[in-house]
Amino acid sequence: MIRLAQPAIDAPDIEAVATVLRSGWLVQAEQVRAFEQELASLGGVPHAVAVSSGTAALHLAVLALGLRPGDEVAIAAFSWPATANVAVMAGLVPRFVDIGGTGMAMDPPSFEALTTRHKIKAVLPVHPLGNTADMPAIVRIAAARGIPVIEDAACAIGTSLDGRASGSWGLAGCLSFHPRKVITTGEGGAILTAVPDLARRLRALRNHGLDPETITPAFITTGLNYRMTDFQAALGRSQLARLPELLEARRIVARWYAEDLDRVPVERPSPATPERHNYQSYVVLLPREVAPHRARLLDALREAGVEAAIGTHHIPLTAYYRKTYGYQPGDFPMTDEIASRAVALPMHHAIRRQDTRTVAAALAHLLRTIP
């Protein structure tokens, strides 16, 4: 089976974790601090706060805004449900924004239009599947209205636009180190920010409300335990050291796909610059007439030894959001279309030249025979 995704764990990664385990200092020691400094430096921001997952990062970023229950926040409609769930869990009302076409990210004009109908108190754009959102436009619209931006950069480590790292555009940018992402700590995440007061508040929120800047314990807020362990941070540092190599491996696989899929009737990812995509996922769009048969296509690919999946989720049409807010097909037309046509093909550092040929041949064959 050509696997959809595969974490890139090598001997130095294992040794880095083992060293921390042998030391007896499993939490709140040196590795987390060092990992945070390295992440901040990569993001080009002064502060990074490591936490227990990408969802924890988003949750704390939303909590740190100090919004009131019932406040409305704008959220990209095509994402992993965590992006919206954290807002709902914080008592906020999600207002979804349609995506802007094959880039699959929040459509800036749709966001702007939403701000004329609703009192939007924060915006959460997403860099979908490793492809950068149009952050200059979103930041411009948000800044003009005093709306804070929280970037869901869970998939987007190592990407940039106009020389600026994904996760560094907004008030806060959230990363994930789940095994499906480009680098992993098992579970793990981080928040990037340039604002010292926010970093301090995030550090308190992740650690039971304890002020990180006083030695005598001062519980300055309520909080959670969303800390990252030191052995996860050691793994993160070891992985981060290989990020350039892992990004290059994925970009090479993307070039192979571009060649091998050239005559196959699917739309391929086409970032405007190489830096804008890390290929966390490699998602193609099926021809419209094949979209209704996608489930059968995925099954048939699996039978042909190719593990493939849907891209990501149409959040407003998932069971909870549909039931709670009454969303219908047609409310977010572009998300409807992309969510029905998207297929994620195998993409990871260990894909070989022969693999993309096998995937392309299987897909080409099935597109000739389905429906």
The contact set with ligand PLP (CB under 6 A) reads: 53-55, 79-80, 82-83, 126, 152, 154-155, 176, 178, 189
Nearer to ligand PLP, 178 or 201 (CB): 178
Integer Cα distance of 214 and 302 in angstroms: 55
**What is the smallest separation between the CB atom of 175 and ligand PLP, expressed in angstroms?**
8
Contacts of 219 (CB under 8 A, 6+ apart): 208, 209, 210, 211
Nearer to ligand PLP, 178 or 203 (CB): 178
Nearer to ligand PLP, 95 or 178 (CB): 178
Nearer to ligand PLP, 57 or 261 (CB): 57
Contacts of 272 (CB under 8 A, 6+ apart): none
Nearer to ligand PLP, 72 or 151 (CB): 151
**What is the smallest separation between the CB atom of 51 and ligand PLP, expressed in angstroms?**
9
Nearer to ligand PLP, 4 or 360 (CB): 4
Strand partners, 237: none
Integer Cα distance of 137 and 207 in angstroms: 35
Nearer to ligand PLP, 124 or 300 (CB): 124
**What is the smallest separation between the CB atom of 174 and ligand PLP, expressed in angstroms?**
7
**What is the smallest separation between the CB atom of 259 and ligand PLP, expressed in angstroms?**
27
**What is the smallest separation between the CB atom of 252 and ligand PLP, expressed in angstroms?**
23
Nearer to ligand PLP, 56 or 261 (CB): 56
Cβ contact 228:31 at 8 Å: no
CA distances 131 to 144, 212, 242, 302, 338, Å, are 25, 34, 20, 26, 14
**What is the smallest separation between the CB atom of 297 and ligand PLP, expressed in angstroms?**
23
Closest CA to 125 of 294, 141, 286: 141
**What is the smallest separation between the CB atom of 179 and ligand PLP, expressed in angstroms?**
9
Integer Cα distance of 327 and 48 in angstroms: 36
**What is the smallest separation between the CB atom of 306 and ligand PLP, expressed in angstroms?**
22
**What is the smallest separation between the CB atom of 59 and ligand PLP, expressed in angstroms?**
9
Residue, CB closest to ligand PLP: 54
Nearer to ligand PLP, 7 or 261 (CB): 7
